[in-house]
Amino acid sequence: MKVLVVNCGSSSLKYQLINMESEEVLAKGLVERIGLKGSVLTHKVNGNKYVTEQDMEDHKIAIKLVLESLIDKDHGVIKDMNEISAVGHRVVHGGEKYANSVLIDAEVMKSIEDCAKLAPLHNPPNLVGINACKELMPNTPMVAVFDTAFHQTMPDYAYMYGVPYEYYKKYGIRKYGFHGTSHRFVSKAAADFLNKDVKKLKTIVCHLGNGASISAVNGGKSVDTSMGFTPLAGLMMGTRSGDIDPAVVTFLMKELNKTPEEMDAILNKKSGIAGISEISSDMRDIKKGVYEDNNDRAKLTYNMFHYRIKEYIGSYVAAMNGVDCLVFTGGIGENSNQNRHEICTDMDYLGIKIDEKKNDEAIGIDMDISAADSKVKVLVIPTNEELMIARDTKDIVTLLK
């Protein structure tokens, strides 16, 4: 069975075609600047890159071009579109309705649309992508895999905010959490790596990329996570503030005479690592500032980033009354020994100790980096959200037969 995984943004589209028997990626790629001048498709097969520059008015044209690339005589990987058994779509927000992935039908489309209010930047392009695929492949089953679904197991006292209860009832104001597909993949992969039953493990997953979140996974279920009503909450990220006193928002809006949209842009696009350092949103640039340029602002940013992560780890140990396994994933978590070193320093009270040599070797691979006398297993596990989406899609479509 071959499954196409599609992740649509407002002007971009990422895809992978996966052979589910071997779980091998047959082809993958990215379309950028959809609806803008200078659209470009980068299609990759076996490490070779094929670039098509052609203006693409909308997502339907982009997906048509992707399908053509997949069946292309020279660099295609399938003979016919019918070889694609199913399409798995990443959908950001499933609200309280979806705790699992689902086969897309008219009701699911309506629910994704209803959730657009909660994720105005993400759900509408996700829907556009689903519609475009449905038009081009009307007989192929489609599955929605929600970023929020895994965190639907959080208890009410963890996901509620201390604001008037009627706002929860009327507007759905609560913590939803995001990156769920990654947290689910990584927590399960960590249990498999340790040869343990996920149901018997208390795991803390640190997904540290440009966007970053931490989750507490008890017995395979998410019991808390750092992102909230939106992906702005929690850790300090590339350009997002993470947690701040909410009174700062109203204070600045009044002081600077900012509209809600302007304030939103400041917190989402101008804050975090970029806002504090005034150097870059990229952790590699911050590390250069710390280790090579002796830059004070880079040092402050670096310390803030790690301190917040340590705080969350501590609070999730308390939430679960213990932790067996701490896992690092995401661009920073998978690749940066220095950041992992900083986070795990002075955590021995909690039973967390890493082997520095192993930590230095763990770059983009599954690896146990715990010290021999560490009570808690510390692992690096590269995330693979696309594979998780493809697996869910395969499972759901197989049930149809």
Q: Is there binding between residue 9 and ligand ADP (CB under 6 A)? A: no
**Residue among 152 and 335 whose Cβ is closer to ligand ADP:** 335
Residue with the two structure tokens 């230095």: 360
Range list of β-strands (E), 259-310: none
Residue 293 Cβ, how far from ligand ADP at the closest point, in Å? 15
Q: Is there binding between residue 388 and ligand ADP (CB under 6 A)? A: no
Q: Under 8 Å CB-to-CB from 268, ≥6 apart: which residues?
A: 232, 239, 240, 241
Q: Is there binding between residue 11 and ligand ADP (CB under 6 A)? A: no
**Residue among 149 and 227 whose Cβ is closer to ligand ADP:** 227
**Three-state secondary structure call for residue 231:** coil
Instruction: Report the catalytic residues.
Output: 147
Q: Is there binding between residue 125 and ligand ADP (CB under 6 A)? A: no
Residue 392 Cβ, how far from ligand ADP at the closest point, in Å? 19
User: Rounded to an integer, what distance in angstroms lies between the CA atom of residue 255 and that of residue 262?
Assistant: 13
Residue 234 Cβ, how far from ligand ADP at the closest point, in Å? 13
User: Rounded to an integer, what distance in angstroms lies between the CA atom of residue 174 and that of residue 229?
Assistant: 6
* Sign of the four-CA dihedral 285, 287, 293, 296: positive
Choices 139-147, 149-157, 305-313, 328-336; region in contact with ligand ADP by CB under 6 A:
328-336
Residue 7 Cβ, how far from ligand ADP at the closest point, in Å? 10
Q: Is there binding between residue 301 and ligand ADP (CB under 6 A)? A: no
User: Rounded to an integer, what distance in angstroms lies between the CA atom of residue 9 and that of residue 173?
Assistant: 24
**Residue among 320 and 332 whose Cβ is closer to ligand ADP:** 332
Identify which of 122, 128, 85 has the alpha carbon closest to the alpha carbon of residue 109.
128
CB atoms within 10 A of CB 195: 6
Q: Is there binding between residue 336 and ligand ADP (CB under 6 A)? A: yes
Beta bridge partners of 215: 205, 225
Q: Is there binding between residue 127 and ligand ADP (CB under 6 A)? A: no
**Residue among 275 and 330 whose Cβ is closer to ligand ADP:** 330
Q: Is there binding between residue 382 and ligand ADP (CB under 6 A)? A: no
Please pick, from the candidates 210, 297, 300, 355, the single residue that binds ligand ADP as defined by CB under 6 A.
210
Please pick, from the candidates 283, 309, 319, 397, the single residue that binds ligand ADP as defined by CB under 6 A.
283
Q: Is there binding between residue 83 and ligand ADP (CB under 6 A)? A: no
Identify which of 217, 218, 256, 249 has the alpha carbon closest to the alpha carbon of residue 232.
249
Choices 71-79, 249-257, 277-285, 353-361; region in contact with ligand ADP by CB under 6 A:
277-285
User: Rounded to an integer, what distance in angstroms lies between the CA atom of residue 202 and that of residue 219?
Assistant: 6
How far out from the chain centre does Cα 44 lie? 22
Residue 212 Cβ, how far from ligand ADP at the closest point, in Å? 7
* CB neighbour class for 79 (10 Å; exposed up to 12, middle 13-18, buried from 19): exposed
**Residue among 98 and 305 whose Cβ is closer to ligand ADP:** 305
Q: Is there binding between residue 331 and ligand ADP (CB under 6 A)? A: yes
**How many residues lie near ligand ADP (CB under 6 A)?**
13
**Residue among 283 and 347 whose Cβ is closer to ligand ADP:** 283
| C-alpha pair distances (Å), 325 with each of 205, 219, 316, 397 | 8, 12, 12, 33
Tell me which residues in 215-274 interact with ligand ADP (CB under 6 A): 238
Choices 168-176, 203-211, 240-248, 387-395; region in contact with ligand ADP by CB under 6 A:
203-211
Angle at 234 between CA 284 and CA 9, to 5 degrees: 70
Please pick, from the candidates 177, 289, 330, 382, the single residue that binds ligand ADP as defined by CB under 6 A.
330
Strands 40-45, 202-208: parallel, antiparallel or unpaired by DSSP? unpaired
Beta bridge partners of 51: 42
Residue with the two structure tokens 């449905």: 134
In the complex, which residues of this chain contact ligand ADP (CB under 6 A)? 209-211, 238, 282-284, 287, 330-332, 335-336
